[in-house]
Chains A and B, each alone.
Chain A
Amino acid sequence: MRVARELVIEAAPEALWRLLWDVPRMAACVPGCAEAHELAPHQTYRAHMTQKVGPISLSVALIVEILAAEPPWHLALSASGRDPVVSADIAMRVTLDCAPDGTGTRLHIGAEGQVLGKLGALGHGVIQRKAEETVDEFGRRLARMARS
């Protein structure tokens, strides 16, 4: 699945970056994501992700790794994990790119990833939609949090 979204956030790049760089806080903006813990500062995190699509529930212990950070413009991270019940392996790569936009910041969110296993193979269309909804909601929450 692939999602690309761009939105303007009412916060200067540096202010937005402080929020992004506080990974557990940022992770809290991801719908379904909870309990983000730092394992190695600004390197590795643990989080728990739950998603429900109709009758199917997904519950994944994620390892999140920072792949690249260029404050305050660029952050790239990966998230991967497995739901042992439905035998789904999740692998995501997310990039967040910021550019000044007036007094605010134009944020580009790129998410690319796969849900491997039967769920991914059978639910391709729904997963794409879910990913889009998730990224949209993430953007909204992030914007809200950046404003406050």
Chain B
Amino acid sequence: MLRPFALYRPSTLAEASALLREHGEDATLYAGGTELLLLMKEGLVRPHVLVDVKHVAGLGEVVAADGAIRIGATVSHRTVERSAAVQAHCPLVAGVARHVANARVRAAGTVGGNLAFADPHSDLATLFLVFEARIDLRGLDGEREIPLDAFVLGPYETARRGDEILSAVRLRSWPVGAAGAYLKFGLYERPTLGVAAVLVPDAEGRRVSEARLAIGCIGPRPLRLRALERRLRGAPVEELAAGRADVASAEIDRIDAVTDLHGSADYKLEMAQVFTRRALRVAAARAAHHVIDARYPYTVVV
């Protein structure tokens, strides 16, 4: 059961931002509603005004250009999963979209909503880090583009300002020859841990020339493991594919994990290492075109 509200359906971002400014704290952006309506039903948020951005022109498009794709904020996970452009340029993203929550949430939930809500258990917020994602924000005072790193600040907190609207996320395709994997682990409805790994092998395909690693859900916000990435440069691909990556990392140890229903902080940090190693194993095997058995219990391997 929901409490009454007024619903606005602006057709431009400027109108939407004007509504946000006009109604201030009383207004909330609304797209798929998968997270918002849940909180509203529980009475935890009680907006008087919903600003539905699904009718804003251009927000529902996926566009590929110049080695990047731009996913509009109101594109649903279901659309991402099926998008030819996503499959062509960032197939891992399409694969992960297929595993977000369940089929119904994927049909209603949107990419922009997912990022803007900043649920600490978001898959996309972690995954997109290895695509050097940048966020487009538009407000009455202009537009800006910021890296995803700088957008998600903490649980449910982002850099989005009052009348700003997340209009799109841009993902850079990986260099040719790169291979990646996303692993998420957990017992519960939302993942306990998500790890994304991308490896770019050298010309001979033997050693890693570039690595990208992102880890999410266990800390306050998703994180790139940049020192570990640097350390992995030059690592033999076969070593990683054999599951022998040395992932002991101060960056992981420093993650501010809390003890909650998903598990104790020490367990989560240990799992962060385990799944970083596993993600590297799968990515390396793919880079080397090996077929491996990459099934792990309570784990989605994309």
Is B118 touching A54 in the complex (CB atoms < 8 A)? yes
Q: Contact flags (1/0) for A39-68 with B, using CB distance below 8 Å?
A: 000000000000001111100000000000
A53, A56, A57, A125: which contacts B258 (Cβ < 8 A)?
A: A125
| A145 proximal to B (CB < 8 A) | no
Surface stretch bound by B, among A12-20, A73-81, A100-108, A116-124: A116-124
Is B155 touching A118 in the complex (CB atoms < 8 A)? no
Chain B's interface size range is 20 to 34
Is A128 touching B258 in the complex (CB atoms < 8 A)? yes
B28, B43, B46, B259: which contacts A128 (Cβ < 8 A)?
A: B259
Q: Contact flags (1/0) for B31-44 with A, using CB distance below 8 Å?
A: 00000100100111
A54, A118, A122: which contacts B156 (Cβ < 8 A)?
A: A54
A119 to B259, CA, bound (A): 18
| B55 proximal to A (CB < 8 A) | no
Is B46 touching A54 in the complex (CB atoms < 8 A)? no
Is A55 touching B155 in the complex (CB atoms < 8 A)? no
A86: B residues at CB distance < 8 A: 43-44
| B21 proximal to A (CB < 8 A) | no
Is A56 touching B155 in the complex (CB atoms < 8 A)? no
Is A125 touching B28 in the complex (CB atoms < 8 A)? no
A54, A118, A126: which contacts B42 (Cβ < 8 A)?
A: A118
Is B262 touching A85 in the complex (CB atoms < 8 A)? no
A56, A87, A132: which contacts B45 (Cβ < 8 A)?
A: A56
| B220 proximal to A (CB < 8 A) | yes
| A147 proximal to B (CB < 8 A) | no
| B261 proximal to A (CB < 8 A) | yes
Is A55 touching B39 in the complex (CB atoms < 8 A)? yes
| A5 proximal to B (CB < 8 A) | no
A126: B residues at CB distance < 8 A: 120, 155-156
Is A124 touching B260 in the complex (CB atoms < 8 A)? yes
B36: A residues at CB distance < 8 A: 55
Within the complex, the shortest CB–CB distance from A112 to chain B, in Å, comes to 14
Within residues 203 to 253 of chain B, which ones have a CB less than 8 A from any CB in chain A? 220
Within the complex, the shortest CB–CB distance from A94 to chain B, in Å, comes to 19
Is A129 touching B155 in the complex (CB atoms < 8 A)? yes
- Asked, given contacts A53-B155, A53-B156, A54-B118, whether A122 binds B44 with beta carbons under 8 Å apart, the answer is yes
A86 to B39, CA, bound (A): 10
Q: Which residue of B lies closest to A54 (CB)?
A: B156
B262: A residues at CB distance < 8 A: 125
| B202 proximal to A (CB < 8 A) | no
A54, A87, A122, A128: which contacts B157 (Cβ < 8 A)?
A: A54
Chain A's interface size range is 10 to 19
| B174 proximal to A (CB < 8 A) | no
A118: B residues at CB distance < 8 A: 42-44
Is B44 touching A54 in the complex (CB atoms < 8 A)? no
B117: A residues at CB distance < 8 A: 54-55
Q: Which residue of B lies closest to A132 (CB)?
A: B258
Is B259 touching A55 in the complex (CB atoms < 8 A)? no
Is B156 touching A129 in the complex (CB atoms < 8 A)? no
A125 to B262, CA, bound (A): 9
A53, A85, A119, A122: which contacts B46 (Cβ < 8 A)?
A: A85
Within residues 252 to 297 of chain B, which ones have a CB less than 8 A from any CB in chain A? 256, 258-262
A56, A87, A125, A128: which contacts B39 (Cβ < 8 A)?
A: A56
Is A125 touching B42 in the complex (CB atoms < 8 A)? no
Is B43 touching A87 in the complex (CB atoms < 8 A)? yes
Q: Which residue of A lies closest to B121 (CB)?
A: A125
Give 5 nearest A-B pairs by CB, closest first: A54-B156, A125-B260, A55-B45, A129-B258, A118-B42
Known interface pairs A54-B118, A124-B260; 14 further A-B residue pairs with C-beta atoms within 8 A, sorted by A's residue number: A53-B155, A53-B157, A54-B157, A55-B156, A56-B156, A118-B44, A122-B44, A124-B261, A125-B258, A125-B262, A126-B155, A126-B156, A129-B256, A132-B258
In the complex, 10 of the A-B residue pairs with CB atoms within 8 angstroms, ordered by the A residue number, are A56-B156, A86-B43, A87-B43, A118-B44, A119-B44, A125-B262, A126-B155, A126-B156, A129-B220, A129-B258
